[in-house]
Amino acid sequence: MALDPTSLPQHVAIIMDGNGRWAQCQGLPRVEGHRRGAKSVRTVVRAARELGLKALTLYAFSAQNWRRPNEEVGLLMQLLHDYLIEERSEIMENGIRLTAIGQVSRLPGFVRDPLDALIADSAGNSGMTLCLALSYGGRESIVEAASALAQKVKSGELSAADFSENLFSEALQTGHLPQLDLLIRTSGEQRLSNFMLWEASYAELCFTETLWPEFGREHLLACLEQYGHRERRFGQTGDQLRPAIRSVG
């Protein structure tokens, strides 16, 4: 499948859903679904880089996922640790910049240490940015940004009159990323689940029935092709966006 490079989104985010259901369909424990899902992460990150995306954000662990059984949380943390160790060479060799959003301080030390190290070591890379949403919540992110701006007003560093959408966007943890163009959710669910609520306000949404452990390069390409056929109007009409066709007399 050939894609027009000019029609590619700059920033794609994915809600990676369906690991548990995939395992259930296979007659396997949930943990096996997560292990298989980790392989899809590797495949999709590699495909996104090769296709030329500027930024890819993966919803890896939500702020609400801490409520899951301890055994499952422990496995997810171990898989994240393994990913950071095993993919370090590929990330560095391909010029990928790794970043993270969310309450990263809540992660256990054996995950946070390699995460912090790879973020620091890859900071100068100029290729695709890979952003991991870890212990992340969209509402929590908005509250955090609002609180930070309120503190600046209180200290006199900022005036309330200076508030704007751009200022607020820059205050979010995603302020270093391009505007979100496309948000994909796997497994057939059609909700945002507290993910990038502010950032997704004008993003195109793509919901696929494919469970995350089965999501690969061809599925990403299908979503990108679908995006390429969307007309993004941002409040305008289609006629305003299309150049006028002048008749030749």
* Structural tokens at position 144: 């955090």
From the list 65, 94, 125, 194, the catalytic residue is 65
| C-alpha span between 44 and 58 (Å, rounded) | 10
Per the annotation, the verdict on 17 as an active-site residue is yes
**Which residues lie below 8 Å from residue 74, measured CB to CB, with a gap of 6+?**
none
Which residue type occupies 144?
E
Known catalytic residues?
17, 65
